[in-house]
Amino acid sequence: MSEPETIDVISDVVCPWCYIGKRHLEAALSKLPVDERPLVRWHPFQLNPDLPAAGVDRRSYLEEKFGGAERASTIYDRVRAAGREAGLALDFDRIERQPNTLDAHRLIAWAQASGRDVEPLVEALFKAYFVEGRFIGDRKVLAEVAGEAGFDAGASLEMLEGQTATAEIAEMDLRTRQSGIGGVPFFIFNEKIAVSGAQGAPVLLDALAQSRPST
């Protein structure tokens, strides 16, 4: 049997373009027969690895990153529009705290290592943050989101309260940056063809086709 096709997605759950990119990838894969869809693997990238575990006030974060909420709103107008085109109702105004995402990435890695489909969890984390305004830097909130995505909430919280995958996530994040990847989303098709940014479905399908061996 031939090796299954793969799409490696490097992203952060507090990156709106990553959520939009996820929708574009879903649109691309929907064009393929179910039994011909590649295995999607999720990899960590922390946009703000230096944030404290408790996160920071969102307003303060916007002041530092964009020079204030007004300028951030102008920038986010473009993101909102792109989100709407992708079928997403991004609600930045509901976000009160900017989280550190180490634990969220640990949760995804732990769930993915179980062999189960981790897509519902990734989707639930994006939705919790960008649509519902929940603080996904809190371990209890993360466990609740995991439960809503079909995983065991109690086991999720127990894992999060320990150190499972902490060092591994930090190392993976570092290796990603050292490889030259400085922004997300970033897609790698069959470990051959890379696409940077929230490109549309046609671009992603073309990259997948290019990554396949010629016949």
Both tokens assigned to 121:
């969890």
User: What is the reported pLDDT for 53?
Assistant: 93
In the predicted structure, residue 202 carries a pLDDT above the cut 80: yes
Tell me the C-alpha distance between 65 and 98, whole Å. Answer: 12
Q: If you average pLDDT over every residue of the chain, what do you get?
A: 95
- Report d(CA 58, CA 22) in Å as an integer: 24
Hey, what are 201's tokens? 């479905």
Q: What's this model's pTM, rounded to 2 decimal places? A: 0.95
The backbone torsions φ and ψ at residue 40, rounded to the nearest 5 degrees and listed phi first, read -100, 125
Give tens-digit pLDDT for 119-170: 999 999 999 999 999 999 999 999 999 999 999 999 999 999 999 999 999 8
98 versus 63: the higher-pLDDT residue is 98
Q: Is the pLDDT of residue 206 over 50?
A: yes
Task: Note the pLDDT tens digit of each residue in 134-145.
Answer: 999 999 999 999
Q: Which residues pair with 195 in a beta bridge?
A: 187
Q: What is the mean pLDDT of residues 110-122?
A: 96
Token pair in block for residue 104: 């969220």
pLDDT of residue 140: 98
Q: What is the pLDDT of residue 72?
A: 84
215 has pLDDT over 70: no
DSSP 94: G
pLDDT, residue 34, reads 94
User: CATH number of 6-48+100-211: 3.40.470.10, 3.40.30.10, 3.40.109.10, 2.60.40.10?
Assistant: 3.40.30.10
pLDDT one-digit tens code per residue, 11-42: 999 999 999 999 999 999 999 999 999 999 99
DSSP assignment of 22-79: HHHHHHHHTTS-GGGPPEEEEEE--S-TTS-TT-EEHHHHHHHHHSSHHHHHHHHHHH
Can you give the pLDDT at residue 66?
Answer: 87
214 vs 63, more confident: 63
Residue 67: per-residue pLDDT: 87
106 is written with which tokens?
Answer: 């640990």
Number of H helices, E strands in the chain: 9, 6
For the chain, the first-to-last Cα distance in angstroms comes to: 17
* In the predicted structure, residue 70 carries a pLDDT above the cut 90: no
Query: CB within 8 A of 151, min separation 6: which ones?
Result: 111, 116, 121
pLDDT at 1: 44
**Residues 85-94, buried b or exposed e (16+ Cβ, 10 A)?**
ebebebebee
pLDDT band at 71 (very low <50, low <70, confident <90, very high): confident
> What is the Cβ-side half-sphere exposure of residue 196, based on CA atoms within 13 angstroms?
4
pLDDT of res. 2: 65
> Could you state, in order of their start, the residue ranges of all structural domains in the chain?
6-48+100-211
